[in-house]
Homo-oligomer: A and B are copies of this chain.
């Protein structure tokens, strides 16, 4: 099978990289270069490296020979892994019709907590620190990359990971869990400027946020692939683990077969009602989060733009007035002119405080809401799988009549739907509990910083006020 790629961005290369133009068709000659690069050949026969992000599959021209459907599906799966955009809503039918008994390590129990169905939470919560970004290189220095140190609180032993490793982990988690758990996207890929300090700091902060969220999830944090990512001891263990994870068969809708709610079976009608509510809630919250992000963005620009400028101008105007007063040759001027100069300087300081403030408070508010925007963006897909399952169960009666499935099959479907519903309820409760924690913490932090901001300015103005003569 040969893949042809279409260039999506103009790429202006260094050393052994290939110059490509938007819309140009390339043949990939080596997909395993690594580091986010592929080796490709253009129509003029030139071979060179191209960033993966700059190309997309345009057409599958030749599928040389298809032995059977299984092979075709496996081939399509391969493609889907490479290009997540290709994936369609998974069909829950495969899962619904099979009788499952979750077993061993893979079993995901659901209990009734105070708030309803909940996942099994570990005694101590996993967390990790993403820190210490270092530049590394490979291919005899031809390719550079940034490596982050990830230290879990369990072993306290750091492991090194590049962005592409996080991305690999993300892909595995999506593949394995996305039907049941919304897996938020990683921070954006970026090719240009990816070695700039500011960018590295921001990416690290966002990777930290993403990892912390994954650590807090009882199902994800306990999964083999996630544990591998945090705890591998050497390159060999990592490579073996990677291969194992890539071959994992319990992916897509099959994940529900591991779920074991030790709870009474639910009525499909109730289930449907809950889904509507979840769907409505996540959509509304998504809108609300976007509204907050929009006004936050506006306010940020106002503080660092016109407001800073204006306070500087006010500061300058007072200082200029003071300078003019100083030329009066009138003998009783100095107290006023000194106080006026100090006032002017205070407003210049205020200008800088105003411009720096968003980084201190709005930044965290924006980052948290961006994370939630990403998370909320995953819910529709997850909920769609569940809604499709309900539709299948609804059709079941009709299908039984037509003798396509047995009455027994129908009961299994209902039992499995109930399991899926418990999974979503547990996940929603996990989401709600995290949301309350996150927003409570966020709002307190934001308000504390805002109070400090206003108090600092009041204090500064009070000090300059004290310089004037009392009358």
Contacts and interface: CB of A to CB of B under 8 A. Distances in A.
B451 A468 contact: no
Given A115-B330, A454-B457, A454-B461, A471 B281 contact: no
A320 B285 CA distance: 9
Nearest to A327: B281
A87 interface: no
Contacts of A343: 443, 447
Interface string A418-444: 000000000001001101110111011
A340 interface: yes
Contact of A324 (B288, B298, B455): B288
Contact of A429 (B114, B314, B330): B330
Contact of A288 (B320, B443, B450, B457): B320
A448 B465 contact: yes
B465 A447 contact: yes
Contacts of A432: 328, 330, 333
A439 to B, nearest CB: 6
A307 interface: yes
A275 to B, nearest CB: 13
A435 B458 CA distance: 27
A332 interface: yes
A448 to B, nearest CB: 6
A325 B193 CA distance: 39
Contacts of A295: 310, 313-314, 317
B465 A444 contact: yes
A434 B440 CA distance: 55
Contacts of A94: none
B454 A440 contact: no
A292 B310 contact: no
A336 B457 CA distance: 29
Contacts of A433: 330, 332
Contact of A436 (B289, B336, B450, B451): B336
Please give the count of copies of this chain that the complex contains.
2
Contact of A115 (B332, B443, B450): B332
A320 B333 contact: no
B455 A288 contact: no
A76 interface: no
B115 A331 contact: yes
B292 A321 contact: yes
Interface in A449-471: 450-451, 454-455, 457-458, 461-462, 464-465, 468-471
A320 B289 CA distance: 9
A34 interface: no
A323 to B, nearest CB: 8
A139 interface: no
Interface string A266-300: 00000000000100110011011101100110110
Nearest to A280: B327
A66 to B, nearest CB: 49
Interface string A336-353: 100110010000000000
A454 B324 CA distance: 29
Contact of A321 (B289, B314, B447, B454): B289
B455 A458 contact: yes
Given A291-B320, A314-B299, A327-B281, A468 B454 contact: no
Interface of A: 114-115, 277, 280-281, 284-285, 287-289, 291-292, 295-296, 298-299, 302, 306-307, 310, 313-314, 316-318, 320-321, 323-325, 327-333, 335-336, 339-340, 343, 429, 432-433, 435-437, 439-441, 443-444, 447-448, 450-451, 454-455, 457-458, 461-462, 464-465, 468-471
21 contacts: A115-B331, A284-B324, A285-B321, A291-B320, A299-B314, A307-B307, A328-B432, A330-B433, A332-B433, A333-B436, A336-B439, A343-B443, A441-B471, A444-B468, A444-B471, A447-B461, A447-B464, A451-B462, A454-B455, A454-B458, A455-B455
